[in-house]
Amino acid sequence: MNPDFLNKPFALLDNKKDRYLLILIVLVFSIFFINIFKPWNIGRWHSDLGFVKFLRLSSYGIVVALVFLFTQFPLRKLFRQAQFKIKTYALWFFIEILLISLVYIFLYGNPLGNFMNDFFFSLKYTILGICIPYSFALLIIYYKNQQAQIAHLQTQIGKPPTKNLIAFKDDNGKVRFSVLAKDLLVLESTDNYVSVFYILEGKLHRELLRNTMKNMEESFKDSSVVRCHRSYMVNTLNVEFVKKAGKKLLLKVRLIDNTIPVSEKYTSRFLDLLS
């Protein structure tokens, strides 16, 4: 397999709404699939009937959803996994399968008995059971995102050309100044203000804006202006040099004397700049 493929970003579940959608689809699909088809004679694993059997069979899907809810939110936050590469997400998915298998053993098996035998038994059926609903959910999310991108492009067609000015608003929503997108360099947090560095007539200029970096990050979502540090955002179109020092990255932005640090939390989104 091409190593470049494994190093590509896996952005399908970067959005929190898409992660919730994944969990919901897997939950609903699993409950219906297990109760209707009863794979691997799962309906005969216990001598229950009627609504009790429905609850027991549904609980397998509920366990999966709860584990995904844990791994896709608090666990990702704990390990600072805001973004993944394909290879790292494959490892993450395998860890999720291991956790589901362990939960199954403690809920339905005998962890004090033949643990390894029960573990491999649980792992086998977890892999077989999760692949279909998980793949189905990812396909739906991919299709939804593709349709959203197409709709966005269609709305852009026919719009009159503009100078692509970026309007900067203060914390009250009032526009204070505008800068050409291509001339925007760096945003730096300064207490309750944001310093906006930009180019005007070939020289470096700075404007002070009363606002927060959190608001700035939201307003520049899906643009070339990216958060790289708790105190900085940079326009990647004006990054001239990237230096990797151990696990850290340092950025040299056009006309800015000091290098801009990249926090470990945001490092993955800048790795492509090194190639």
HEC sequence for 31-70: HHHHHHHCHHHHHHCCCCCHHHHHHHHHHHHHHHHHHHHH
Identify whether 87 is part of a domain: yes
The CATH number covering residue 224 comes to 2.40.50.1020
State whether 87 and 180 are in the same domain. Answer: no
Q: Choose the weakest-confidence range: 24-38, 93-107, 111-125, 128-142.
A: 111-125
Beta strand pairing status for 260-262 and 248-253? antiparallel
State whether 8 and 135 are in the same domain. Answer: yes
For residue 162, what pLDDT band results from cuts at 50, 70 and 90? low
C-alpha angle 222-26-40 in degrees, rounded to nearest 5: 150
Q: Which domain holds residue 256?
A: 165-274
The predicted model scores a pTM of: 0.59
State whether 17 and 132 are in the same domain. Answer: yes
Identify whether 95 is part of a domain: yes
Identify whether 160 is part of a domain: no
State whether 114 and 242 are in the same domain. Answer: no
Q: Could you give the number of structural domains in the chain?
A: 2
State whether 200 and 66 are in the same domain. Answer: no
Cβ neighbours of 196 (radius 10 Å): 23
State whether 186 and 119 are in the same domain. Answer: no
What pLDDT score does 163 carry? Answer: 62
State whether 30 and 138 are in the same domain. Answer: yes
What pLDDT score does 3 carry? Answer: 67
Coil, helix or strand at residue 88: helix
Largest CA distance in the chain: 81
What pLDDT score does 243 carry? Answer: 85
Q: Please, what is the average pLDDT of the chain?
A: 88
Q: Among the three residues 122, 155, 188, which one is the final residue of a domain in this structure?
A: 155
